[in-house]
Amino acid sequence: MTSGASRTKPRTGVGGLRQSASDGLIITWRNLKRIPRIPELAIFAVLQSIMFVLLFAFVFGGAIPLPGGGNYREYLMPGIFAQTIVFAAATTAIGMSEDVHKGLIDRFRSLPMARSAILIGRALSDVVYNGGILIVLMLSGLLVGWTVRTGIPPFLEGVGLLLLFAFAMSWIGIWLGLSVPSVEVAQQAVFIVLFPITFVSNVFVPPQTLPSWLQPIAEWNPTSTLTASLRGLWGNPNPYASTGFPSQHPVLVTLLWVVVIVAVFAPLGIRRYRSMSH
């Protein structure tokens, strides 16, 4: 134990890493339990994505020609998957904020458990939750004409990339959820951040149609690189601005984004969580 310093850090846990893992899994279990008990949450998450599919496939889709041709709905679906994953940060932020304001975090902090477990459990359970939502969305995608033209291994690579990205986004959600003063603010704040991220991208329209000053932003936007990765991996139409580095190496750039987001927001979230005792 370190002592003597004016601000000694609390110990992370009695049993170190092993305790972090086992406590983290208990919190994961607890977070997952709530899904079947508030089925509305998952149902509306799926419905929201399906709404976007229907709106863009049948309302705007006709007005959005793809450069070089191709089926718009097949183009759209990978973007919808990516958008759903980006929006998952909202679920995380709201869940975290609820735990803070209902006093559960205080209860957990008064227990001799690993302090990291709350955050690890939250990130893990949200990855599982989003995996479930993706399955439903992919099935509905198949119905409107989306398909994987390559094979099983690239398909799984795409899914893995989506889940990795979900993990990264949940750290943004954790930080936001711990930072806002109430659950309502969490809901508002998240959407202000997330809407531009998903719309200034290649999700709904080919980036070539954007004003030129906006194109580089859309090109480097992690939602775009994730979407472009999926389209590339699965053989879906991918009329992307051709010469830029992100469009040449979308998977690499997406992985870099995952690393950067986790490297920035995990320490921020952990610091927030620790500073709750000041």
Residue 228 tokens, joined? 């472009």
The answer to whether 108 contacts other proteins (rule: CB under 8 A) is yes
- C-alpha to C-alpha distance for 208 and 100, rounded to whole angstroms: 43
Whole-number Å distance between alpha carbons of 274 and 61? 47
Considering beta carbons, is residue 13 or 232 the nearer one to other proteins? 13
User: Residue 117 or residue 166: which is nearer to other proteins going by CB?
Assistant: 117
- Tell me the closest approach of the beta carbon of residue 4 to other proteins, in angstroms: 9
What tokens does 131 get? 């995996």
Interface with other proteins in residues 8-37 (CB under 8 A):
8, 10-11, 13-15, 19, 23, 26, 29-30, 33-34, 37
Q: How far apart are CA 265 and CA 60, in angstroms?
A: 35
Based on CB atoms, which residue is closest to other proteins, 20 or 236? 20
State which residue, 102 or 149, has the beta carbon closest to other proteins. 102
| Rounded CA separation 239/50 (Å) | 23
Cα–Cα distance, 222 to 255 (Å, whole number) = 9
| Residue 111: CB minimum distance to other proteins, A | 5
Token pair of 253 as six digits: 């750039």
Residue 168, H or E segment: helix 152-179
Nearer to other proteins (CB atom), residue 147 or residue 182? 182
Query: Mind spelling out the 3-state secondary structure of 130-145?
Result: HHHHHHHHHHHHHHHC
Residue of 38, 63, 139, 143 that binds other proteins (CB under 8 A): 38
Give least dist CB 122 to other proteins, A. 13
Q: Summarize as ranges the residues that interact with other proteins (CB under 8 A).
A: 1, 3, 7-8, 10-11, 13-15, 19, 23, 26, 29-30, 33-34, 37-38, 102-104, 106-113, 117, 276-278
